[in-house]
A = this chain, B = another copy of it.
C-alpha cells in the first residue's frame, strides 16, 4: 500500500556517518532513507546576553536546506534576505527538543549550536535533523568531558525525532516525500529514551483526526524511536 512497499510500522534504513566533517566538535551525516542531513555541534565560550552571569549554558539549533536538496530547486534564503516561517519553526523545534535533555547548569557558560543542513530531502527532514543533532551533541559533550572542561555529564537521555501520519486511511511510520505530500494528517514526535515525550506536533490540514488516531500515531512513533535510539547508541559508542 505504501509507495515504497514498506509495512505501515516500518522505518526507512537509518544510516549514520560520524565525523563527516572535521572542524566541528561533533559532526554526523544522518540518513533516513534518501533524506540526508548534515548535523554539526559547535561549542563556543559565552552565552547569549540574557543568560550572562548565571553560570548556565545554552543549546540552540539552526536549520537550512541546500537549494537543490529538493525535487525542484528552491531559492536560497540568504539571497531572499530572510528565513522562511517554516525554517524558523523548525529551528525553534530543534533547539527546544535538545534542551529537553540537557542540564544547562552542568553545561556551564558555553553555547552549543546544532547546525542541521539538509543535503538531500525525501520527507522527514526535521525529525532526521533532531535525531542527528543528538548524536552531534553527544560527541561534542564527550569531547568536553574527555578534556575535563565539563565534570558531570549534562545529557540526561537520548532524543529521537520521528514523523507519523495517516496515509490513505492507515497510520504509517516515517513518511517519505510521496506520502508526506498526500497524507491526511501528519505528526512530528520528539521522544526521549526512558519513555517520556518532549514534543508532539500533529496537524491535519484539510482532514482531521480524533483521540484514537493521535494515540495510534504516538504508538507508531515509539516503534520508530526505539530504532533510532539503537542506531544512535551504536554510532556514539
- Residues of A with Cβ closer than 8 Å to B? 21-24, 27, 34, 36, 38, 40, 42, 44, 62, 64, 66-73, 76-89, 91-92, 96, 99-100, 113, 115, 117, 119-121, 187, 192, 195-211, 213-215, 218
Contact check, A197 vs B204: say whether CB atoms are below 8 A apart: yes
Chain B residues near A34 (CB, 8 Å)? 22
> Copy number in this complex?
6
A91 to chain B: closest residue by CB: B85
Alpha-carbon separation in the docked complex, A197 to B187 (Å) = 12
Q: Is the interface of A mostly helix, strand, loop or mixed?
A: mixed
Give, as a whole number of angstroms, the nearest-CB distance from A191 to chain B: 9
Q: Known contacts A78-B77, A89-B92, A197-B209: does B67 contact A204 (CB below 8 Å)?
A: no
Alpha-carbon separation in the docked complex, A120 to B69 (Å) = 18
A111 to chain B: closest residue by CB: B73
Contact check, B67 vs A62: say whether CB atoms are below 8 A apart: yes
Give, as a whole number of angstroms, the nearest-CB distance from A146 to chain B: 20
Given contacts A85-B88, A196-B210, 16 further A-B contacts (CB under 8 A): A21-B119, A21-B120, A23-B71, A24-B68, A38-B119, A40-B66, A64-B76, A67-B113, A68-B115, A76-B78, A77-B78, A81-B82, A100-B205, A192-B208, A197-B208, A197-B213
